[in-house]
């Protein structure tokens, strides 16, 4: 970068030292770089210096006068932004920078709440067509809009479902059948699940708030309606738990985060309203990693019921753990980048991450407006479908939700589906000759895990499925594009960073939200838009894959997790067995250690992916797989 001559440097320094806040952002505009990262970096530098000159409490980041910008600040900011500036260009920037900073300050002063979405709406469909059943020219894809009543399969045999342990782990369909046959009541189920939540919470830490009074009132009403012959559907009278980012009137909604313990809203989230309308009974608001990251919240670490020393995975930690421990009939979770997949895997339950834009997020904490998805966590894919049937569809408030139909058909002829698999993801790795001992242990662990995936493929072949090899699109930098999540999250919690209240969050490490939010402030608007453009290329590439197959089976980790969360495709995560006593031990076995994962007696999973808005068809195929393998019936030893 060209260095300033002595006279120019003095003039620029003097000009900057006399800047009023009103002029700062205008300086960038005058130089034509107001849309780069540079102004934000400069402003951050001045704020940091200013904060260092004020008391720690209420450092007053918007106080006047702000520290004068120096040529060295511009050079440093330009280096972070990855741009080059001449001496003349830096001089020209002064007015534009000042005006732009003033605009930013004005918007920050609005104190916009988390519930307000941006003016843009993300749509994962690559080529939107006409209304009705729009055809996607490049792929022939159709979005079904005609809604039909759910078509249930044959009623399960409920005569053998007796005793608390058997009832507690029954599927939604089985619980509904028990209620239909008057073998139990909603009040009895509700009291049983409340008692189990209280019994196992000290060990698993999955409850933030019990909604006992609300639940018993709902359950009594459900029993009265059933006695009067009014049955609202298969969820009527079934107790459930909500991830504590869903607003519930009259109860705290903590987002799992320190500093938000007493937060509440005077309304119910749309999903809560819809489950109320379906007659389901809310018994608890369940734990979540702070601000939807991991299993650690202000009350501790949520554990998996399969090994109480191990974290449950997150961020839908309590939802998966409570279902896995037989403490609710079903639960609601959310996923932005693995938050249904991870805990469903570790807790041995079934999670359905729906197509982006299928379930309204109104009344739910926003983390990433273009990636957040709400979905059910249950014992089976059939249960997930019954819950999805109740919660999907537009609510007139979340503008990302399409008027697409979720037509559950338990008798769907899945044999006509084209099923692909990511062959390379199922292959056992072979260590290199010069591998270290640590690398060899990791290869041995991955080879052991591969046995379960390969057995799952054989189960599919036994069903008569002819597997088609497919490959994930290459060259789309899914991990790099995923930084849009961090930028949106930093915007969603902008005030948390600026106010310094991020210090109240339990986790303060390099990979945790406080640091991530700070780093994201240096991600330019230009680069955010470029990443979204790269994301559109990935969407188009993924849609070409799903033009060749209807379903893809894959291990639950790997590149597909980032890819399909970015492209909005649905996924169903299912138990695929339990590791035996011969399983490699985790390298880290400390109580609650984040890396204490796997080992003997813990569950493994498979993931099934589907085309956009094919969620009901995907669930029907997965339900057929689960009935063949029976792994959804496995349950942990809790006592």
Q: What is the pLDDT of residue 41?
A: 53
- The torsion region of residue 262 among left (phi > 0), alpha (psi -120 to 50) and beta comes to alpha
The β-bridge partners of 252 are 264
Q: Taking Cα atoms as reference points, which of 251, 273, 283 lies closest to residue 264?
A: 251
Q: Report if residue 189 sits inside a domain.
A: yes
Count: domains in the chain: 2
Q: Report if residue 92 sits inside a domain.
A: yes
What percent of the chain clears pLDDT 90, i.e. is strictly above it? Answer: 70
Q: Which of these three, 58, 91, 108, is where a domain ends?
A: 108
Q: How confident is the model at residue 83 (pLDDT cuts 50, 70, 90)?
A: confident
Task: Give 385-412 pLDDT, tens digit per residue.
Answer: 999 999 999 999 999 999 999 999 999 9
The β-bridge partners of 311 are 303
Q: What is the pLDDT of residue 107?
A: 77
Q: Report if residue 191 sits inside a domain.
A: yes
CA dist list (Å): 434 to 65, 430, 437, 439, 446: 60, 12, 9, 10, 18
Alpha helices in 299-409 (DSSP H): 317-324, 341-347, 381-391
Three-state DSSP class for residue 469: strand
**Between 492 and 23, the higher pLDDT residue:** 492
Q: Report if residue 513 sits inside a domain.
A: no
Three-state DSSP class for residue 52: helix
Least confident piece of the model among 103-112, 146-155, 559-568, 615-624: 103-112
> Is the same domain home to 181 and 97?
no
Tokens of 367: 């983390």
Q: Taking Cα atoms as reference points, which of 564, 522, 192 lies closest to residue 371?
A: 564
Q: Taking Cα atoms as reference points, which of 17, 153, 60 lies closest to residue 623?
A: 153
Q: Is the pLDDT of residue 6 over 60?
A: no
> Is the same domain home to 327 and 223?
yes
Q: Is the pLDDT of residue 239 over 50?
A: yes
Q: What is the pLDDT of residue 96?
A: 65
Q: Taking Cα atoms as reference points, which of 382, 314, 313 lies closest to residue 150?
A: 382
Alpha-carbon gap, residue 49 to 65, rounded angstroms: 12
> Is the same domain home to 211 and 346?
yes
Q: How confident is the model at residue 137 (pLDDT cuts 50, 70, 90)?
A: very low
Q: What is the pLDDT of residue 235?
A: 98
Q: Report if residue 385 sits inside a domain.
A: yes
Q: Is the pLDDT of residue 1 over 50?
A: no
How many C-beta neighbours within 10 Å does residue 366 have? 21
Q: Is the pLDDT of residue 421 over 50?
A: yes
> Is the same domain home to 179 and 97?
no
Alpha helices in 19-120 (DSSP H): 25-31, 38-52, 71-81, 87-92, 94-108
Q: What is the pLDDT of residue 106?
A: 78
Q: What is the pLDDT of residue 141?
A: 67
Least confident piece of the model among 88-102, 146-160, 460-474, 574-588: 88-102
Q: How confident is the model at residue 331 (pLDDT cuts 50, 70, 90)?
A: very high
Tokens of 237: 């009278």
Q: Is the pLDDT of residue 56 over 80?
A: no
Q: At 568, which CATH number? A: 3.90.1300.10
Burial label for 465, CB within 10 Å (0-12, 13-18, 19+), is: buried
Task: Give 406-420 pLDDT, tens digit per residue.
Answer: 999 999 999 999 999
The β-bridge partners of 136 are 141
The continuous run of DSSP H or E covering 496 comes out as: helix 494-499
The arithmetic mean of pLDDT across residues 39-65, rounded, is 47
> Is the same domain home to 195 and 282?
yes
Give the residue numbers spanning the domain of 579.
166-402+414-421+536-633
> Is the same domain home to 377 and 295?
yes
CA dist list (Å): 75 to 82, 84, 86, 304, 516: 10, 9, 10, 50, 24
CA dist list (Å): 467 to 351, 454, 570: 23, 12, 19
Q: How confident is the model at residue 139 (pLDDT cuts 50, 70, 90)?
A: low
> Is the same domain home to 184 and 69?
no
| Non-local CB neighbours of 6 within 8 Å, separated by 6+ positions | none
| Cis status of the peptide bond prior to 380, with omega within 30 of 0 | no
Q: What is the pLDDT of residue 465?
A: 98
Least confident piece of the model among 122-131, 429-438, 523-532, 608-617: 122-131
Alpha-carbon gap, residue 496 to 113, rounded angstroms: 11
Q: Which of these three, 63, 92, 108, is where a domain ends?
A: 108
The continuous run of DSSP H or E covering 618 comes out as: helix 615-629
> Is the same domain home to 104 and 186?
no
Q: What is the pLDDT of residue 639?
A: 84
Q: What is the pLDDT of residue 82?
A: 79
Q: What is the pLDDT of residue 109?
A: 83
Q: Report if residue 496 sits inside a domain.
A: no
Q: What is the pLDDT of residue 534?
A: 94
Task: Give 546-556 pLDDT, tens digit per residue.
Answer: 999 999 999 99
The continuous run of DSSP H or E covering 212 comes out as: helix 212-227
Task: Give 286-303 pLDDT, tens digit per residue.
Answer: 999 999 999 999 999 999
> Is the same domain home to 216 and 364?
yes
Average pLDDT, the chain: 87
**317 and 213 in contact (C-beta within 8 Å)?**
no
Q: Report if residue 325 sits inside a domain.
A: yes
Q: Is the pLDDT of residue 619 over 90?
A: yes
> Is the same domain home to 334 and 192?
yes
Q: What is the pLDDT of residue 12?
A: 38
Alpha-carbon gap, residue 92 to 364, rounded angstroms: 44
What percent of the chain clears pLDDT 70, i.e. is strictly above it? Answer: 84
Task: Decide the pairing of beta strands 303-304 and 419-421.
Answer: unpaired
Instruction: Please give the span between the terminal C-alpha atoms of the chain, in angstroms, as a whole number.
Output: 67
Q: Which of these three, 92, 108, 124, is where a domain ends?
A: 108
**144 and 405 in contact (C-beta within 8 Å)?**
yes
Alpha-carbon gap, residue 320 to 376, rounded angstroms: 10
Task: Give 18-46 pLDDT, tens digit per residue.
Answer: 344 334 444 444 444 444 455 555 545 55
> Is the same domain home to 251 and 340?
yes
Task: Give 509-530 pLDDT, tens digit per residue.
Answer: 888 999 999 988 888 898 999 9
Q: Report if residue 135 sits inside a domain.
A: no
Q: Taking Cα atoms as reference points, which of 395, 402, 353, 354 lies closest to residue 134?
A: 402
> Is the same domain home to 173 and 96?
no
Cα torsion 328, 332, 337, 338 to 10°: value is 20
Alpha-carbon gap, residue 71 to 59, rounded angstroms: 25
């Amino acid at each position: 970068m060209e260095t300033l001559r002595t006279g120019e440097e003095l003039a620029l320094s003097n000009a900057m030292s006399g800047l009023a806040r009103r002029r700062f952002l205008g300086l960038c505009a005058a130089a034509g770089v107001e849309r780069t990262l540079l102004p934000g970096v400069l402003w951050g530098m001045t704020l940091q210096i200013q904060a260092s000159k004020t008391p720690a409490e209420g450092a007053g980041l918007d106080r006047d006068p702000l520290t004068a910008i120096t040529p060295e600040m511009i050079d440093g900011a330009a280096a972070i932004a990855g741009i080059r500036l001449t001496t003349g260009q830096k001089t020209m920037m002064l007015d534009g920078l000042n005006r732009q900073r003033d605009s930013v300050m004005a918007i920050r002063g609005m104190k916009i709440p988390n519930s307000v979405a941006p003016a843009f709406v993300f749509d994962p469909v690559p080529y939107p067509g006409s209304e009705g059943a729009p055809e996607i020219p490049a792929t022939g894809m159709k979005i079904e809009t005609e809604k039909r009543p759910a078509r249930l399969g044959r009623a399960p045999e409920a005569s053998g479902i007796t005793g608390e342990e058997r009832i507690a782990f029954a599927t939604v369909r089985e619980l509904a059948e028990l209620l239909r046959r008057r073998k139990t009541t909603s009040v009895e189920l509700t009291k049983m699940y409340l008692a189990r939540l209280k019994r196992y919470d000290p060990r698993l830490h999955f409850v933030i708030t019990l909604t006992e009074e609300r639940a018993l009132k709902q359950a009594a009403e459900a029993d009265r309606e059933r006695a009067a012959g009014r049955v609202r559907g298969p969820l009527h009278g079934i107790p459930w738990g909500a991830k504590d980012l869903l607003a519930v009137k009259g109860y705290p909604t903590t987002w799992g985060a320190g500093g938000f313990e007493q937060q509440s809203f005077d309304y119910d989230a749309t999903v809560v309203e819809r489950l109320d309308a379906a007659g389901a009974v809310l018994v608890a608001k369940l734990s979540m990693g702070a601000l939807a990251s991991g299993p650690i919240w202000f009350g501790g670490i949520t554990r998996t019921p399969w090994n109480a020393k191990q974290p449950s995975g997150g961020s839908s930690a309590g939802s998966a753990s409570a279902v896995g421990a037989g403490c609710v009939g079903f639960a609601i979770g959310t996923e932005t980048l693995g938050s249904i997949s991870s805990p469903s895997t570790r807790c041995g339950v079934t999670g359905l991450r729906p197509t982006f834009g299928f379930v309204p997020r109104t009344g739910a904490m926003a983390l990433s407006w273009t990636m957040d998805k709400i979905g059910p966590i249950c014992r089976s894919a059939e249960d997930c479908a019954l819950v999805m049937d109740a919660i999907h569809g537009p609510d007139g408030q979340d503008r990302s939700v399409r008027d697409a139909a979720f037509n559950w058909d338990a008798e769907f002829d899945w044999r006509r589906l084209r099923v692909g698999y990511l062959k390379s993801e199922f292959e056992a790795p072979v260590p290199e000759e010069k591998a270290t001992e640590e690398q060899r242990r990791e290869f041995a662990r991955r080879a052991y895990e591969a046995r379960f995936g390969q057995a799952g493929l054989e189960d599919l072949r036994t069903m008569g499925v002819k597997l088609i090899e497919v490959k994930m699109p290459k060259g789309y930098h899914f991990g790099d594009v995923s930084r849009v999540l961090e930028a949106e999250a930093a915007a969603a919690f902008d005030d948390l960073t600026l106010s310094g209240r991020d210090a109240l969050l339990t986790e303060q490490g390099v990979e945790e939200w406080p640091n991530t939010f700070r780093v994201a402030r240096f991600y330019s608007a230009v680069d955010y838009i470029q990443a979204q453009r790269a994301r559109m290329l990935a969407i188009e590439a993924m849609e070409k894959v799903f033009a060749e197959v209807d379903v893809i089976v894959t291990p639950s980790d790997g590149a597909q997790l980032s890819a399909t969360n970015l492209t909005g495709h649905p996924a169903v995560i299912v138990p695929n067995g339990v590791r035996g006593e011969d399983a490699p031990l985790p390298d880290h076995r400390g109580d609650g250690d984040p890396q204490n994962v796997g080992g003997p007696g813990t569950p493994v999973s498979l993931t099934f992916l589907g085309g956009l808005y094919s969620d009901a068809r995907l669930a029907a195929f997965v339900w057929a797989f689960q009935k063949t393998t029976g792994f959804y019936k496995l349950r942990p030893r809790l006592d």
